[in-house]
Amino acid sequence: MRVEGGVRLAGEIRVGGAKNSVLKLMAATLLAQGTSTLHEVPDILDVEIMAELLRRLGCTVTHDRAAATVFIDVPERLGHQADYDLVRRMRASICVLGPLVARCGQADVARPGGDAIGVRPLDLHVDGLVRLGATVETEHGYIVAKAPAGLVGAPIWLDFPSVGATENLLMAAVLATGTTVIDNAAREPEIVDLCHLLTAMGARIGGAGSSTLEVEGVPALHPAEHTSVPDRIVVGTWLIAAVMTRGDVTVRNARPEHLEMVLDKLAGTGAQIDRLDDGVRVACERRPSAVDVVTLPYPGFPTDLQPMLLALNAVADGSAMVTENVYEARFVFVDELQRLGADIRTDGHHAVVRGRERLSGAPVRATDIRAAAGLVLAGLVADGVTTVSEVHHLDRGYPDFDAQLRTLGATVAREPDPFAAGG
């Protein structure tokens, strides 16, 4: 992506459903035979990967992009193997593990790939399924979980409030016999969204949004219709972009209550924040002030917005420390920000950023979805032209990212990637 610097973003855009919710909602439909309907589904690559995974399991998936709706028809008899060629492209594929064990009594899921942001072990997923009565082994690169007699409810304590483990165990528990209590569960809005769909399908779940989920298993679920929660990470990306470029951006279909910590930090930069009935507006008329940030599980500052906040601090007034507590390799992209002239020093999971008035355009390379977004935003506040290589990562999480940037006044364009294979 070719990005011309020095542009102030201004205008209004609308966000759709959350990538981190929709993929799990799609997996959850496996729990019930028949056709479930999901609305506010973003037109991103990861949705297509999940749709293809469900098709290979025997489902019929129809994606109406114009209506942002997906119809998933789940057969009576499902396949139970999630192949490596798809799972390696998207870590969220692991979320079919719980539904398949619960519905089929067996799941063979390849160990996942996904973004290069650090080690994300599956121990919590596996240990929880074992607590529910499954046997779990690793065979030829696959996680093979079996529960031919069905799962049985049990108390589960998560050592870390893992979003993925909470989702997998929640989806497994809804069809288990008896009651499951998941303690130290993740509290993200996407978890609550999943609980709402499962409840609409007939599940019995208490404690959604808290750190303790109580699930009373039921014999079967039925299809349902559900609208996904808005994507708070995409919302946060646009709000940070507004502050970085000293712009004025209104984001519709946003829920400020899902971004309390982010809005608090942006207020600390000196930006004006207006909470609207259907969104949020952020305006910043002067150079933003640097702000310290510590990433933590929800309701803390989200790790997925850390790269953008790091880029903001790179052009802010003053110095700040950014501490990454969730993914140890999030700072991999700091080298690329430094190519743009950012003054950043890292030490373990800390980064000290000394703000500069402007950055300097240069060729850089994205390593994951959020790093790609952070580098594009940095390009907006760099002198000259910045070219961000491997922006295919963006397509996994941001629908029409470059088109929406142009709507807000940016000068960006996609070009052939000189760093692509053979380039």
Over the stretch 143-201, which tens digit does the pLDDT of each residue have?
A: 999 999 999 999 999 999 999 999 999 999 999 999 999 999 999 999 999 999 999 99
Token couple for 303? 């790790």
- Helical spans, DSSP H, in 132-253: 163-173, 189-200, 232-244
3-class DSSP assignment, residue 270: coil
Cα separation, 410 vs 170, in Å, equals 42
Task: Yes or no: say if 144 and 137 are a contact pair by the CB < 8 Å rule.
Answer: yes
Query: Is 239 within a domain?
Result: yes
The pLDDT value recorded for residue 419 is 60
Give the end of a domain, one of 187, 209, 227: 227
| pLDDT for the residue 119 | 41
In a domain, 423, yes or no: no
Residues 67 and 10 in one domain: no
- Do residues 195 and 235 share a domain? no
267/168 same-domain check: no
Task: State whether 93 and 138 are in the same domain.
Answer: yes
**Alpha carbon distance 89, 112 (integer Å):** 8
Query: How many CB atoms are located within 10 Å of the residue 388 CB?
Result: 25
115 has catalytic annotation: yes
In what side-by-side order are the strands of the sheet with 204-206?
155-157, 179-183, 212-216, 204-206
Quote the longest CA-to-CA distance of the chain: 64
The separation between the first and the last C-alpha atoms of the chain, rounded to the nearest angstrom, is 15
Which among 174, 200, 227 is the end of a domain?
A: 227
Residues 91 and 202 in one domain: yes
Handedness of CA 293, 228, 218, 73 (dihedral sign): negative
pLDDT digits (tens, 9 = 90+) for 42-69: 999 999 999 999 999 999 999 999 999 9
Do 62 and 184 fall into the same domain?
yes
| Phi, psi (rounded to 5 degrees) for 162 | -70, 130
**Dihedral sign from CA coordinates of 115, 120, 122, 124:** negative
- Give the global pTM: 0.94
- Give the H/E segment covering residue 104: helix 97-104
Domain with residue 350: its CATH number is: 3.65.10.10
Of all helices (H) and strands (E), which one includes residue 250? strand 248-252
The structure tokens listed for 347 are 């030490």
> Do 133 and 244 belong to one domain?
no
Residues 155 and 263 grouped into a single domain: no
Decide if 170 is inside a domain. Answer: yes
- CA dist 410 and 402 (Å) reads 9
Claim to verify: residue 110 and residue 247 sit in the same structural domain: no
* Helix residue ranges per DSSP H, 315-392: 334-339, 369-380
123 vs 120, 151, 164, CA distance in Å?
Answer: 9, 18, 11
Residue stretches of the chain with pLDDT short of 70: 113-121, 418-423
Q: Is the dihedral of CA 312, 317, 323, 328 positive or negative?
A: positive
Query: What is the domain extent for residue 271?
Result: 2-15+230-413
Distance of CA 20 to the CA centre of its chain: 4
Residue 92's pLDDT is: 77
**What confidence score (pLDDT) does residue 121 get?**
66
Pair 201, 254 in one domain: no
Q: Same domain, yes or no, for 76 and 176?
A: yes
Same domain for 292 and 196, yes or no, is no
Domain contains 175: yes
Q: Is 365 within a domain?
A: yes
Catalytic one among 115, 231, 304, 402? 115
Closest Cα to residue 168, out of 177, 180, 114? 180
pLDDT for the residue numbered 117: 36
Residue 418 lies in a domain: no
In a domain, 186, yes or no: yes
Q: Is residue 419 part of a domain?
A: no
Domain count, the chain: 2
The interaxial angle of helices 97-104 and 163-173, nearest 10 deg, is 10
Structure confidence at residue 420 (pLDDT): 61
324: which residues sit within 8 A by CB, 6+ positions away?
A: 295, 303, 306, 330, 331, 349, 350, 351
Last residue of a domain, which of 211, 227, 243? 227
H or E element in which residue 268 lies: helix 260-268
